[in-house]
Every structure is written in C-alpha cells, then in structure tokens.
Amino acid sequence: MHYAIVSETYPPEVNGVALTVQALEQGLRARGHDVGVIRPRQPGAPPATTGELLVRGVRLPRYPGLQFGLPATRNLLRHWKANPPDAIYIATEGPLGWSALRAARRLGIPVATGFHTRFDQYMRDYGAAWVAPVALGWMRRFHNRADATLVPTRELAGVLQRHGFTQVRRLPRAVDTERFNPRWRDTALRGEWGVGPHDLVVLHVGRLAAEKNLDLAVRAFRRVQQVRPDARFVWVGDGPARAKIEADNPDFIFTGVKHGEALARHYASGDLFLFPSRSETFGNVTLEAMASGVPPVAFDYGAIREHLRDGEHGAAIADGDDDGFIAAAARLADDDATRTAMSREAVDAVSQLRPRQVAADFDALLQQLAHGGRHEPAALVQTPRSR
C-alpha cells in the first residue's frame, strides 16, 4: 500500500505530536508499506529524503524551533495526482493540514485525521478562555470532513462525540519498553545532579510552557522538600516558560532536551514523576515514566486514566484537585517502600503496550478506508476503572 502522512511538526522537533507521527510512519514502513511524508521545511535540516515533500513553514510565536506549514493545496494536488496514495493521514489542523484535507477531498482519496492537541483548552492557559468554543468549533469542522478521526483514549472519544465530532475511532498508544526501561538507571548521572543512591530525584519531562500547568509542579516539589530535604527537582525539556522557572528556582536542575539513550537514562534515574498538565490528549511521557519504573503523580485523564491504577502504579488525581496533587507527591516522596513497589507494578502495567500492535491497528484502519470502508462512529463509552 502507498500511504501519505501530513504533519506540521516532525523530528528533530521534540513534542508528543512529532514523536507520535514518526512512530506511526516507522511502524507502517516496518510493515512493508510505501509512506510519503509531507511536512514544513525545517531551518538547518537536511534536504528531503525519498518520499518526503517539504513545504514552506513559518515559526510559531513564543515557540522557538516549532513552526506551522503554509497553505499548499496546489502543491499537494500536483504531488498526489502524479503519485496518488491509497489513504492519507493528517496529524495537524494547521494551514498545511487544511490544505491536505482539501486536496484529498478534491481527488477522492480517503483521509483520516488525528486529534492530538486540545487547542480549546490551551486558550484557558493563555488567558483567552472565551476563545475556547471557537477553537472547538474550528477543530470540529476540520475533523468532520475526514473519513475517520483517530483518538488515543476512550475518554477523549466520548468527549468529542458529545461535542458533535463524527467518525471518531480509538487508536491506542504504546510505549517502547526496550528504550524506556529501569535498566537505564545511571548512578553517574545522578552524581552529576548531586544526589546519592538513597536521595530522592523528582522528575518532570516535557515542554516548558504555560499550558503545562508547571506552577503546580513547583508548589508540589516545595511540599516534597518539607518531608524529604534531600530531594532534587530535575527538569528535562525546554520551552518559553523555562527562563522564569529557572530564575525563580535556582536550586532546580535543567537539562534541556534529551533524545534516545540519554533520555532513557534521565527517566530511569528519577524516583518520582510529576506531571501537572491538564490539557493533554494523552500524555506519552507518563507511559515512558511508568516503563522506566518511575511512579507518576498526574491528573486522572488521558494515558493515566487508560493505564494507571491509583495507589498501585502511582497517583491519579481528580481533575482540578491541586491540593490532592500536592499531597500525593509529598506522600509518595516520604514512602520509599511504596514507591519501590509501585515502580515494579508500573513497569508490568505497560509491558504489553506494543508499538508493533499500534502499527498493525493503524495499517488496518487505513486499509479499510482505502478499500471504501468509511468507519461508523465508535460507541465508545467510558467505563468505570477498577481502583
């Protein structure tokens, strides 16, 4: 089969969408398919490889290193007329994504979209909550023009269906348990952070930006310090909020963005993972922390609701309960035995989440679309999870 993937973000950019898109592409290639990637040209990046089409992009304000693609409908029409894919996957709703959707509809090529980012919730974090309904309506118009909209959780599928999204399908996520694994724990790295084998490392991995609710992580750590004065807070990642957090908290350790084995070592060298974001569609980093044997404290939605049992693998906090988040962080920080047990259970909990199965499911869905099978909306109702 010949597939096309369209995304306005792609590695070496580091974010959940870029890495998820790359994993889907690699999974399809591993299954023997021809995959063309359409994405913005990245400054300083090497030229396009075979199968890639690079289009013009513009940098996102306040987000160095990230950009969105400019409209490219005519370019895509020429490209796909010359070599039409059997099905197209569009990962982003920006100008390039809209262009791809228009071109696919005009050429009669089946198309699936991915719902990766809650732009409506981001509006609240940037002081424009009144724009949220407009953003949701804009996303609904985009996704409802596709033959299927892919989401990572049952919870999100239900939310979107209640807001009028049609053709919603769940495509579960996985985690690479070979890469993210407790065996990467590195005493030398911990030594660089100034901590010994029995000291506590609190970890945050992700983009440092307003929508990540990072002030709560800071407040939770200050409470942790009251019960564990030996604790250090290590931040892996970068973003527009870093400068202020770093200036206000000179005792914090900032490592910048990490990749590959270095990222795996940073995860596995932590002891407790704080993830205060309330605006994720999934939260890949929570699965990576669990696979690395680092119990998370996070709000009960997305990957946490799908895969973590509260009190067994970490702490799942009711949405909006900041005091509960802070209390759980302090409680686990002060209980080495419970954290050790949670570490083992968390690794076991995600051990069966195979990237190859995700690729197979993605392939099956695209093949069904290619063969004329428009998906009916999934009857995905959130069921209570055992605690």
What is the per-residue pLDDT across 223-233, written as a single tens digit (0 to 9) for each? 999 999 999 99
Instruction: Report the chain's mean pLDDT, rounded to a whole number.
Output: 90
Q: Which residues contact 137 (CB under 8 A, 6 or more apart)?
A: none
Pick from 191, 190, 187: nearest CA to 203: 190
pLDDT score for 378: 38
Amino acid occupying residue 15: N
List, for the chain, all residue ranges whose pLDDT scores fall below the cut of 70. Answer: 44-50, 61-66, 119-132, 373-387
CA distance 97 to 91: 7
- How far out from the chain centre does Cα 18 lie? 8
User: How much is the pTM?
Assistant: 0.86
pLDDT score for 361: 96
CA distance 333 to 217: 14
Pick from 370, 258, 280, 239: nearest CA to 12: 258
Crossing angle of the two packed helices 73-82 and 95-107, in degrees rounded to 10: 40
Does the N-terminal peptide bond of residue 12 adopt cis geometry, omega within 30 degrees of 0?
A: yes
Cα distances (angstroms) measured from residue 350 to each of 5, 86, 194: 27, 33, 30
pLDDT score for 43: 74
Cα distances (angstroms) measured from residue 24 to each of 19, 101, 168, 216, 280: 9, 19, 18, 32, 19
Pick from 355, 362, 354, 358: nearest CA to 3: 362
pLDDT score for 42: 80
pLDDT score for 133: 78
4 forms beta bridges with 36, 88
Total residues belonging to the chain = 387
Per-residue pLDDT tens for 339-364? Answer: 999 999 999 999 999 999 999 999 99
Residue-range domains of the chain with CATH = 2-174+355-370 (3.40.50.2000), 182-350 (3.40.50.2000)
Q: Which tokens hold the place of 120? A: 């409506």
pLDDT score for 125: 58
Q: Which tokens hold the place of 190? A: 């911990």
Q: Give strand ranges (E) for 98-223.
A: 111-114, 148-151, 168-170, 201-205
